[in-house]
Amino acid sequence: MLKELIMKTRQPKSRERRQSPVHTRLSPASGSRTGASPSKSRAEIKGFQTKPKTAAGGRKYEGRLTLHDVRWSGEGSEAIANFTMTAEQLADAAENRLLWTDQEVQRGWKPELDPRPVRELALADGYPNPAFYIFDAKNADEITEKLLGGDKLYLDPLIWNLRPGEFTAYFDDSTSSIYLYSGKLYLPDSHHRQQAILKAVRAFSPHFSPALTPGRGSV
């Protein structure tokens, strides 16, 4: 069932996964990857705070998105945060307009367009308008149908990028969690797969907003 879909970040040695598993990485963009070795490396990435924000009563504020059980690989600008999340958590992040594509990084615009349409698109807005953007809706729909049909799919890795200096977050060593306070998570690739997961969750879970008609991007 779709509700059993698991998203993990980099576990190349383990091939025993639950139904329709997916893998995800968080990394800082523009040549760097989001994350860092727990204390030292994350401090080298502009955006990670040395102290958490606090909520009423003095408890740690978990921000707009919390990534649990984070494991780090690499250091400094090459650090990668590896974590596991469900398909519904990915959909929540999308519906909260945290997940975006940048057409300078994706395959992007159709080359003949002048002027170019909007550069950044929210995943929550659905498939990009085919009149302006390069996107294979048939490919994404096939993935959605397989997810809803309970087929076993290997969709890893999924990658999210944070851009140093354009976000604020805190890594909690005690719980191995990242609290994202502000900023966008960019998809440098795997756009079709993440659109397919979002569409499948919307179809599977009635409380999610219905999929929007393609064509949000405009000149």
Give strand ranges (E) for the chain.
Answer: 6-8, 22-28, 65-67, 71-73, 80-86, 99-102, 120-122, 158-162, 168-172, 177-182, 185-186
- Reading the block at residue 92, the tokens are 């929540």
pLDDT per residue over 166-196, tens digit each? 999 999 999 999 999 999 999 988 999 999 9
pLDDT per residue over 40-77, tens digit each? 556 678 999 999 999 999 999 999 999 999 999 887 77
Taking alpha carbons only, the member of 106, 20, 39, 35 closest to residue 74 is 35
Instruction: Identify which has the larger pLDDT, 156 or 29.
Output: 156
Show me where the domains of the chain are located: 2-204
Residue with tokens 């994404």: 140
Largest CA distance in the chain: 56
Residue 23 confidence (pLDDT): 52
CA distance 65 to 93: 7
Residue 33 confidence (pLDDT): 36
Q: What angle do CA 64, 158, 94 make, to 5 degrees?
A: 35
